[in-house]
């Protein structure tokens, strides 16, 4: 996977380049102190090139690494053949920084592997470890040189590579996960568009073609009108789902949603037959089913005491969602007619429908939680009925929504308690 390099020089790399610029300046000071030699001048030029490569390690990681590698090979060669002692320069720290950059940002991970091999070789095969001629009088033995210079260089190289590889792998996992999620969303959107637009237009086309051969076309035109209205409602529901950041309206997800209510709550989910029935409903009804299950579960978890019941049922002509949990003292009624998005329902002792449980429901005039207010509005928009409040000491949320070809407003009745 390719990680896109930066298009501008990062401030951190500019700061590093400025910091490392002190190295050639220190090398140049030897010319002032000891007099001019071509060896000192060559060392200054090589270090300037390495410093310039540091500034470009994020924009062009491969080119920066190659320039840095060639620079250090030249510097090592110069150190070996120079008759004067050039000393140990802090510029050596640019090597692990270059390896880190090429491992993390190069288009291919092969560059990081190649850089690791080259850096490990340079850590052990260099004048400081092998002993340059100008160090012949040094009392340090070859074993000491390996321990002093070789082993630390290998450790620093390994840490730089491992750190960069770990960061790169994490970024690639996040990128792959985001790409998979995007692909799933596109596939789901494609399915919904096919169901919403394709099925509706197909039905309209078939009825229109049939109407051409009928003497009485009024009935066919009325069916076309009704089908178009249903399709338009589904398109609006799809747009609303996209605006909320999700398109999911799959009845198969309901059981996973209500399972989050907790182990102390008796849960009744959907059977495979009920899922199959709901899957044939228009998007607006399926979306209402999933959203009502989500919000009812959330309300039960947030405002309940960990006990109670939650039941979701699907019938050929409607679905119901009902939750019960011990009511809190002082809870009052909510007027579902006030439950519009952006205008929370208000608590009033005069209303027939009690309020949802929660701190906001303990005093008259307190706002209903926005989640339940939005759920009431969604249920109303699809022709259903929503009630919430205390019934026989239990705070109850009840939703009944008609499915296509059902009565516009099925009367909600008591649903059996879910089995433990």
Structure tokens at 282: 């228009």
Tokens of 393: 């000491």
pLDDT band at 3 (very low <50, low <70, confident <90, very high): low
Mean residue pLDDT across the chain? 77
Q: What does each C-alpha distance from 372 to 67, 344, 413 come to in angstroms? A: 63, 9, 20
**CATH entry 3.30.70.1290 includes domain 251-402:** no
Evaluate if residue 352 carries a pLDDT over 80.
no
Q: What is the pLDDT of residues 159-168, one digit of tens each?
A: 999 999 999 9
Confidence of residue 70 (pLDDT cuts 50, 70, 90): very high
Q: Averaging pLDDT over each range in 63-67, 135-139, 203-207, 290-294, which range is the top one?
A: 63-67
pTM: 0.50
pLDDT at 403 over 60: yes
Inter-CA distances, 62 with 33, 54, 56, 74, 292, Å: 37, 11, 10, 18, 54
What's the CA gap between 58 and 197, in Å, rounded? 47
Q: What is the pLDDT confidence band of residue 132, given thresholds at 50, 70 and 90?
A: low
Mean pLDDT of 175-180: 88
Query: Cα(111)–Cα(2) distance, rounded to whole angstroms?
Result: 12
Task: Among 9-23, 259-273, 301-315, 324-338, name the one with the lowest average pLDDT.
Answer: 324-338
Comparison of pLDDT for 246 and 93, the residue scoring more: 93
In total, the chain counts a number of residues equal to 420
pLDDT of residue 137: 60
Name the region of 324 (left: φ>0; alpha: ψ -120 to 50; beta: rest). beta
As given in the structure block, the two tokens for residue 57 are 């390690």
Q: How far apart are CA 276 and CA 196, in angstroms?
A: 17
Tell me: pLDDT of 307 over 70: yes
pLDDT digits (tens, 9 = 90+) for 246-282: 556 788 889 988 888 877 889 999 999 999 999 888 8
Measured at the CA of 57, the angle between CA 56 and CA 58, to 5 degrees, comes to: 95
d(CA 118, CA 112): 10
User: What pLDDT is stored for residue 111 in this prediction?
Assistant: 92
Closest CA to 249 of 221, 230, 275: 275
């Amino acid at each position: 996977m390719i990680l896109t390099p930066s298009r501008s020089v990062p401030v951190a790399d500019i700061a590093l380049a400025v910091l490392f610029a002190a190295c050639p300046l220190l090398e140049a000071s030897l010319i002032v102190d000891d007099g001019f030699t071509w060896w000192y001048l060559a060392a200054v030029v090589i270090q300037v090139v390495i410093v310039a490569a540091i500034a470009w390690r994020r924009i062009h990681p491969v080119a920066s690494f190659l320039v840095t590698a060639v620079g250090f090979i030249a510097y090592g060669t110069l150190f070996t053949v120079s008759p004067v002692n050039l000393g140990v320069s802090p510029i050596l720290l640019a090597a692990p920084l270059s390896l880190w950059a090429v491992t993390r940002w190069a288009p291919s991970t092969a560059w990081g592997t190649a850089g690791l091999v080259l850096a490990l070789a340079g850590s052990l095969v260099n004048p400081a470890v092998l002993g340059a001629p100008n160090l012949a009088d040094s009392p340090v033995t070859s074993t000491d040189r390996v321990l002093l210079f070789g082993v630390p260089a290998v450790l620093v190289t390994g840490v730089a590579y491992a750190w960069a590889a770990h960061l790169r792998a994490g970024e690639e996992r996040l990128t792959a996960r985001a790409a998979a999620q995007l692909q799933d969303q596109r596939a789901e959107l494609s399915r919904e568009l096919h169901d919403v637009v394709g099925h509706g237009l197909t039905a309209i086309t078939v009825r229109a073609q049939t109407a051409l051969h009928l003497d009485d076309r009024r009935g066919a035109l009325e069916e076309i009108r009704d089908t178009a209205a249903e399709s338009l409602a589904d398109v609006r529901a799809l747009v609303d789902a996209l605006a909320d950041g999700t398109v999911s309206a799959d009845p198969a997800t309901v059981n996973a949603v209500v399972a989050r209510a907790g182990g102390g709550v008796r849960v009744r989910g959907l059977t495979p037959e009920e899922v199959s029935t709901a899957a044939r409903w228009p998007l607006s009804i399926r979306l209402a089913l999933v959203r009502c299950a989500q919000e009812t579960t959330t309300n039960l978890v947030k405002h309940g005491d960990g006990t109670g019941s939650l039941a979701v049922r699907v019938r050929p002509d409607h679905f119901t969602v009902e939750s019960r949990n011990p009511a809190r003292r002082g809870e009052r009624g909510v007027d579902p007619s006030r439950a519009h998005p952006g205008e929370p329902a208000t608590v009033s002792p005069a209303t027939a429908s009690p309020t949802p449980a929660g701190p906001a429901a303990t005093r008259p005039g307190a706002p209903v939680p926005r989640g339940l207010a939005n759920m009431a509005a969604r249920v109303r928009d699809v022709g259903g009925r929503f009630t919430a409040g205390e019934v026989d000491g239990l705070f109850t949320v009840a939703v009944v929504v008609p499915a296509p070809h059902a009565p516009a407003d099925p009367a909600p009745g008591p649903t059996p308690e879910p089995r433990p």
